[in-house]
């Protein structure tokens, strides 16, 4: 008894109290109007026309007052959006078998006139009606929400959260399945690839499930429509409700270190060290002694050979400053050019991630985008967001990006391009390391 009392108290606390008062008041008023109508009919039978007319008018007045004042109040609080749900029906194989058996029982009952067969037929039909009503109740009042991680990389499995919220005040839902609706024109754009099953959804509660999701390609993946499916309670009828929910995922290029990048990094590091001078531990070169040089940097063996003091110069380790450039050049609109540009984007992402792990000073430039020189941890995700949606330039449109870079020799440049060798200006060579996609393809035997 105490549990029932506490349950009623919880429901009353969550309920819309003005709506509940209006409901009970309207029921009471309509009950009084019904009694007055019955009394009016009895008075007319006894010949008391005046009392019958006054009772009937009073009943009509009460019913009119309820329809004008209380019904609009209740209508505003009624979740009419549940009525507008688009429900799709599908009879399962078990349902067809059950309907066939029901038809056989109906034929037998009609031919024999046996009351017991009619009773069984009524039970079979009631099961069908109960299946339709209970499945509709399970689908009603259920809202869907999908959460994706902030940072998603192509080829890496992440965990997406699928949440169902049962907004019904009294009734739970059973046997719900969330499925993606994938159209034929974009089959690779699905955010959810597999159905997610929710066996039980309590009233006024949220249930979450974490599911693995893998995106194979970079870019923006959009899912506009999902559906909630149930075969509760008997599996004879499958009902589906479509849910319009725009779920969007921005997928970065893969940053996994490939064999190409592993072979490329020593050359990149060597070019950076050759371009930079400083006070690191790696020897950069020898030069003649200056009055302000420290004596501990004197190379005595080289000084003895040359007859003059020689000082060691070191590559600068603590201030690695790199300008990473993605050349949007495509050449043509062929399939090979598209694949080459995708490869350039992946190389840029891997290189940017390498300098992020080194905590270098990184700057990036691409078609229509430029980041300021800053620690790589500040620039890495803006760079990856651009690379996720980067597109090659249209055939016949020549970008002026490389010409602009030639005027800035003070910063070491790392250029990834699809251009053939011999097309890079001489002004860029002394301050750049250029990755030619054609040379990589020839080296790997792809051409």
Digit-coded pLDDT (tens) for 376-419: 888 889 889 988 888 887 765 566 666 676 656 567 778 888 77
Contacts of 326 (CB under 8 A, 6+ apart): 344, 345, 348, 364, 365, 366, 367, 387, 390, 416
From 65-69, 81-85, 354-358, the region with the lowest mean pLDDT: 81-85
Contacts of 218 (CB under 8 A, 6+ apart): 154, 251, 252, 253, 254, 345, 387, 388
Three-state SS at 147: strand
For residues 339 and 325, what is the distance between their CA atoms, to the nearest angstrom? 18
Per CATH, the number for 259-276+319-444 is: 3.40.50
Confidence bin at 176 (pLDDT 50/70/90): very high
Digit-coded pLDDT (tens) for 338-370: 888 888 888 888 888 888 888 888 888 888 788
Q: What is the pLDDT of residue 280?
A: 45
Nearest Cα residue to 344 out of 249, 441, 263? 441
Fold of 83-252: Immunoglobulin-like (2.60.40)
Q: What residue ranges do the domains of the chain occupy?
A: 2-78, 83-252, 259-276+319-444, 281-316
- The most confident of the ranges 35-49, 113-127, 296-310 is 113-127
């Amino acid at each position: 008894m105490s549990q029932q009392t506490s349950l009623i108290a919880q429901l009353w606390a969550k309920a819309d109290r003005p709506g509940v008062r209006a409901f009970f008041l309207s029921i009471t008023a309509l009950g009084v109007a019904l009694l007055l109508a019955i009394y009016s009919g009895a008075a007319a039978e006894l010949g008391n026309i005046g009392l019958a007319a006054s009772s009937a008018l009073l009943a009509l007045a009460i019913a009119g007052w309820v329809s004008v004042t209380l019904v609009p109040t209740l209508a505003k609080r009624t979740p009419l959006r549940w009525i507008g749900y688009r429900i799709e029906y599908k009879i399962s194989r078990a349902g067809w078998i059950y309907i066939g058996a029901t038809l056989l029982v109906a034929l037998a009952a009609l031919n024999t006139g046996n009351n017991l067969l009619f009773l069984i037929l009524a039970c079979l039909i009631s099961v069908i009606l109960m299946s339709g009503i209970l499945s509709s109740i399970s689908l009603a009042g259920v809202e869907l929400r999908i959460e994706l991680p902030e940072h998603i990389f192509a080829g890496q499995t992440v965990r997406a959260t699928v949440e169902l919220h049962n907004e019904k005040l009294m009734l739970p839902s059973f046997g719900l399945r969330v499925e993606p609706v994938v159209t034929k024109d974009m089959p690779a754009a699905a955010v959810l690839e597999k159905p997610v099953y929710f066996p039980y959804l309590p009233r006024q509660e949220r249930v979450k499930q974490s599911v693995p999701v893998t995106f194979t390609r970079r870019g923006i993946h959009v899912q506009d429509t999902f559906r909630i499916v149930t075969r509760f309670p008997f599996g004879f009828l499958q009902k589906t409700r479509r849910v319009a929910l725009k779920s969007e995922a921005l997928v970065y290029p893969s940053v996994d270190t490939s064999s190409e990048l592993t072979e490329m990094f020593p050359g990149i590091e060597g070019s950076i060290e050759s371009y930079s001078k400083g006070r690191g531990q790696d020897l950069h070169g020898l030069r003649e002694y200056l009055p302000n040089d420290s004596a501990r940097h004197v190379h005595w063996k080289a000084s003895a050979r040359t007859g003059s003091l020689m000082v060691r110069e070191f590559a600068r380790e603590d201030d690695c400053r790199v300008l990473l450039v993605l050349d949007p050049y495509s050449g043509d609109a062929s399939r090979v050019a598209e694949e080459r540009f995708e490869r350039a984007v992946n190389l840029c992402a891997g290189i940017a991630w390498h300098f992020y792990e080194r905590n270098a000073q990184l700057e990036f430039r691409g078609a229509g985008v430029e980041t300021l020189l800053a620690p790589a941890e500040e620039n890495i995700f803006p760079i990856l967001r651009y690379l996720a949606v980067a597109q090659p330039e249209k055939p016949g449109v020549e970008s002026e990006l490389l010409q602009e870079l030639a005027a800035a020799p003070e910063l070491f440049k790392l250029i990834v391009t699809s251009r053939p060798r011999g097309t890079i200006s001489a002004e860029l060579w002394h301050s750049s390391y250029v990755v030619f996609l054609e040379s990589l393809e020839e080296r790997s035997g792809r051409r």
